[in-house]
Homo-oligomer: A and B are copies of this chain.
Amino acid sequence: MSETPRRKARPLAASAAGGAKLGLLPGLLGYHLRLAQRAIFDDFAAAMGELDMSPGLFGMLVIIEANPGLKQTELANAARLDRSSLVPALDKLEARGLVARRASVEDRRVNGISLTAAGTALLKRLKQRVARHEKRLVSNLTAAERETLVALLQRILPEHR
């Protein structure tokens, strides 16, 4: 018996919303976006399995690897998190021995964040699983369709990003 949270993919809801009428909701972009994101999140968690990783924490690891030594505020901005939200997330990664906060010498307010060897090693494994997850996501789409989807998503309220 592992003590992992065992986020067992929801009962599948038979089909859709159980027969109730949804009114105008299926006419809203945000409704479909939320469903798709939820499905992706569940599949991501399942793909990570016993490695116990969320999309958000994985994103943090990727950003840290690409920007070693960056400070918490920069990491928070890159990961689209509040400075304060970063703290417990980073605590978790640090407690798992994946990242290190090292105090800066020239500015003692700043923590430089970097991956540990264990973090680098785990990230390598995670990337393989993420690649398989991503492949499964788009298995019903052609390459062109996938590209179209991303392009259309980026054209929704682009001024907010």
Chain A residues packing against B (C-beta within 8 Å): 7, 9-10, 12-13, 16-25, 27-44, 55, 59, 62-63, 65-67, 70, 74-75, 77-80, 127, 130, 134, 136-138, 140-141, 145-146, 148-150, 152-161
Contacts and interface: CB of A to CB of B under 8 A. Distances in A.
A107 B153 CA distance: 46
A156 B80 contact: no
Contacts of A155: 140-141, 145
A145 B134 contact: no
A8 to B, nearest CB: 11
B77 A20 contact: yes
26 contacts: A7-B160, A10-B160, A12-B160, A13-B161, A17-B79, A18-B74, A18-B77, A19-B74, A20-B78, A22-B63, A23-B63, A24-B62, A24-B130, A25-B63, A27-B134, A29-B40, A29-B138, A29-B149, A30-B55, A32-B154, A36-B157, A40-B156, A43-B157, A138-B156, A141-B155, A145-B152
A41 B99 CA distance: 31
A153 B33 contact: yes
